[in-house]
Amino acid sequence: MSLEDAELLGYFSITIKPLVVNAGPFSNTVKRKLARFSEIDKNEQTYNLAAYLIAQLGKNFSDRAKGRITGQELLEAAIRQTQILQYQAGGMVAFVEADNKEKLLSFYENYGFKRFDTRQTTSAEESHELVQLLRLL
């Protein structure tokens, strides 16, 4: 296959972002793991840490690309890449921000992500709520 024949099937981005995690929805086991690599605010019951944000996860829906990669395969590739980064640079948490749609949230939860908070987008044009989900690496 030549470079001219190559086609973009999907994409994602990964960045490191500061994250504040509400301790409420997590088991004591997860809280202990979070405590190992975060700063705890006992008054607010939150953990402050740096985490890998998997963002802009998207597939090419053109007729030529249809069926050549699934959303699951794309998310698995993003998680594998995050684990490589974790091995090279450290860190223990990956997170995603998703529209508040049950089918989408279930998709992430099937891969071990757990809901922990919401936030409003800052777009002046069309502000909406995003659900934040995290996964320990």
Rg of the Cα atoms in the chain: 17
pTM for the structure as a whole? 0.87
CA neighbor of 52 nearest in space, from 23, 79, 25, 22: 79
The phi, psi pair for 74, rounded to 5°, reads: -65, -45
Is pLDDT of 89 > 60?
Answer: yes
Confidence of residue 93 (pLDDT cuts 50, 70, 90): very high
pLDDT one-digit tens code per residue, 95-118: 999 999 999 999 999 999 999 999
pLDDT one-digit tens code per residue, 23-39: 888 889 988 999 998 99
In whole angstroms, what is the distance from residue 69 CA to residue 61 CA? 10
Place of tokens 């989408």: 104
Q: What is the pLDDT of residue 79?
A: 96
Confidence of residue 63 (pLDDT cuts 50, 70, 90): confident
55 touches 19 (CB < 8 A): no
What would the CATH number be for the domain defined by 3-136? 3.40.630.30
